Amino acid sequence: MKNNICILENMLTRSDIQQVRGVVNESLAKKVEPKLEKYGTNIKAIKNDIAVIKKDIKGLKKDNRSIKSLLNEIISYFERDFVGLRKRVERIEEHVRLPST
């Protein structure tokens, strides 16, 4: 029974807990808020950088599509040209009676 009395005498009341909570919140606010502000500005700068990078990537994707299209046109041109030349060479080989390669 003596232990129970000791515990009851040392228990905190609601107002005690609220006072402790207030002191802890004040202390945290003084220490944490300046750091949060610093990180907040860093986060804003990072978000701006990301927005710029996204814009640049869109431009690069557009350029990439243009390059692919142009490359396909060049390949098609040379394939048509090669096929035409190959046919001419085959006719010449046949006319001169050379073995085909």
Give the pLDDT confidence of 63-101 residue by residue, as tens digits.
999 999 999 999 999 999 999 999 999 999 999 988 876
Give SS3 for 99.
coil
Cβ atoms of 93 and 100 closer than 8 Å: yes
More confident residue, 86 or 8: 86
Helix and strand numbers (H, E) in the chain are 2, 0
**Residue 81 CB coordination number (10 Å):** 10
With a cut of 70, say whether residue 19 has pLDDT above it: yes
Cβ atoms of 20 and 12 closer than 8 Å: yes
With a cut of 60, say whether residue 5 has pLDDT above it: no
**Domain spans in the chain, listed from the N-terminal domain onward:** 11-96
With a cut of 80, say whether residue 21 has pLDDT above it: yes
Indicate the pTM of the whole model: 0.47
What is the mean pLDDT of the segment spanning 8-25?
A: 82
Which among 8, 31, 39, 11 has a CA at the least distance from the CA of 23?
Answer: 31
- What is residue 37's predicted lDDT score, i.e. its pLDDT? 75
The vertex-77 CA angle with 76 and 81, nearest 5°, equals 115
| pLDDT digit string, tens, across residues 40-67 | 778 888 999 999 999 999 999 999 999 9
